[in-house]
Chain A
Amino acid sequence: MNYHWNWGIFLQQVQSGDETYLDWLISGLGWTVSVALAAWVIALVLGSLIGTLRTVPNRWLVLLATTHVELFRNVPLLVQLLLWFFVVPEFLPRDLSLWVKQDMPAKEFVTAVICLGLFTSARVAEQVRAGIQSLSRGQKMAGLAIGFTLPQTYRYVILPMAFRIIIPPLTSEFMNIIKNSSVAFAIGVLELTFQARQMQEDSEQGIETYLAVTLLYFIVAFAANRGMALIERRTRVPGYIGGAK
């Protein structure tokens, strides 16, 4: 391989400006984490709601929730992102459409967060539904039998156990949302992948760049994984399957 290695490249200044390449990557990392966390909040809140609705005894609510899941699950993420960015604004009322296209602050960031949040909410919803349906029917009956309303039964009896059960797949989903945030570069969010491409072109040290970016993604995803593992340990139910004795 005829390649001129230069691991010192990260501390060198960029072509035009007084930042270093490392500054670019760190700034990119900041946007990556911001997009992922903001989208995760949407995914978790909306996914929990939609997943719960898929289990209630009202077929219209179930249909509504199922539609949401299928809509966001059956279209590729990148295509969804481009739809949100280029197509959706055209179908808004005229004034709103103009505002979105011209004046909306942090347009790329907001679009990426909404898109990634909704996409992931469909996946979270399916996990929440699976968690709820893994509980025995008797648990719901026991909640209702002591006089809880159906919402109270979900709040105090069903969801606390369902969420504990789905922590492992939710962990994967949390890591996915961090990694999936890389598609945001396609609409110009200055996140890690965007910065990596910019650094590659600017420095012509593509191998070092992408190896470093790989490591950065790995570290963030791994940290998320460890964080979730901590939550899993903390919420473990003594005496329950998989719980501490």
Chain B
Amino acid sequence: MIKIDNISKWYGQFRVLTDCSTQITKGEVVVVCGPSGSGKSTLIKCVNGLEPFQQGDIIVNNISIGDPKTNLPQLRAHVGMVFQHFELFPHMTITQNLTIGQVKVLGRSNNEAHQRALQLLDRVGLNSQADKFPGQLSGGQQQRVAIARALAMDPICMLFDEPTSALDPEMINEVLDVMVGLANEGMTMMVVSHEMGFARKVADRVIFMDNGSIVEDAGTEEFFGTPRSERAQLFLSKILSH
């Protein structure tokens, strides 16, 4: 589904990604973790071409992201993305946030898009908020709307860029619950996150990044059991110690 092949990226002279390679097969859930500044967010934004890269290629659903001839908007329409700071469209109601992409990109009728929006709001438990604006919702609610907005496009896979790190602790679980539900339904997911509980529960693999490189790429059991790299061990001991 997603094949990352020897990606390198520079900001001017500064190298942010170094020869990153991995694969995510259909239905797989992969959690990417690592210290801040390690390049996790940059890597996940390369997957749908939001960040350009200078070397290597990424293949999503048999389409090359690096190929300048690729119709990126068309591809992105089917790759859901959830951001750290939600990024809902503040001037639109919750329902409009969920319908605009369906109508303007997928060409669905207003009616059809509306039905789908309500169905997804129901799924994330926010039916009653349909006519409110993003600014009137809590962070956890906004992030659930953001997930629903991505799902409204019927994505073939979902990218999550630190979906819970801007949330108050008490709101983290409501978002993780939705994500666990998705994972259990077989959605292909790449999740940049420090939620190790979530990783343990639903991830098939865990990738550990440091300094722009993939240091560790292992099955979940294996990763939490005996990570091979010293750096990953140190990282885990720090975030799991309390």
| Minimum C-beta distance from B143 to chain A (A) | 12
Q: Which residues of A contact B88 (CB under 8 A)?
A: 142
A75 CA to B232 CA, complexed, in Å: 61
Q: Which residues of A contact B89 (CB under 8 A)?
A: 139, 142-143, 156-157, 161
- Most chain B CB within a 10 A radius of its CB, from A143, A147, A157, A245: A147
Name the one of B48, B79, B106, B135 contacting A240, with C-beta atoms under 8 angstroms: B135
Determine if B83 and A142 form an interchain contact, defined as CB atoms under 8 angstroms apart. Answer: yes
Determine if A144 and B50 form an interchain contact, defined as CB atoms under 8 angstroms apart. Answer: yes
A243 CA to B100 CA, complexed, in Å: 22
Which of chain B's residues 101-116 have a Cβ closer than 8 Å to chain A?
A: 101, 104-106
Q: Which residues of A contact B19 (CB under 8 A)?
A: none
| Minimum C-beta distance from A167 to chain B (A) | 13
- Most chain A CB within a 10 A radius of its CB, from B83, B150, B153: B83
Segment with Cβ contacts to A, from B4-12, B69-77, B187-195: B69-77
| Minimum C-beta distance from A134 to chain B (A) | 13
Let me know if A219 is at the binding interface, CB within 8 A: no
A138 CA to B85 CA, complexed, in Å: 8
Let me know if A17 is at the binding interface, CB within 8 A: no
Q: Which residues of B contact A148 (CB under 8 A)?
A: 73, 101, 104-105
A109 CA to B57 CA, complexed, in Å: 59
Determine if B74 and A147 form an interchain contact, defined as CB atoms under 8 angstroms apart. Answer: yes
Number of interface residues of A (CB under 8 A): 24
Q: A142-B89, A146-B101, A146-B149 are in contact. Are A238 and B136 (CB under 8 A)?
A: yes
Q: Which residues of B contact A160 (CB under 8 A)?
A: 91
Let me know if A105 is at the binding interface, CB within 8 A: no
| Minimum C-beta distance from A43 to chain B (A) | 24
- Most chain B CB within a 10 A radius of its CB, from A143, A145, A239, A245: A145
Nearest B residue to A236 via CB reads B91
Determine if B136 and A147 form an interchain contact, defined as CB atoms under 8 angstroms apart. Answer: no
* 23 A-B contact pairs sorted by A residue (CB < 8 Å): A136-B85, A141-B83, A142-B83, A142-B89, A143-B89, A145-B50, A145-B150, A146-B81, A146-B153, A147-B78, A147-B105, A148-B101, A148-B104, A149-B73, A152-B73, A152-B105, A164-B91, A237-B91, A238-B135, A239-B90, A239-B132, A239-B133, A243-B135
**Top 5 A-B residue pairs of the complex, sorted by shortest distance between their CB atoms:** A239-B135, A147-B77, A142-B87, A239-B136, A146-B101
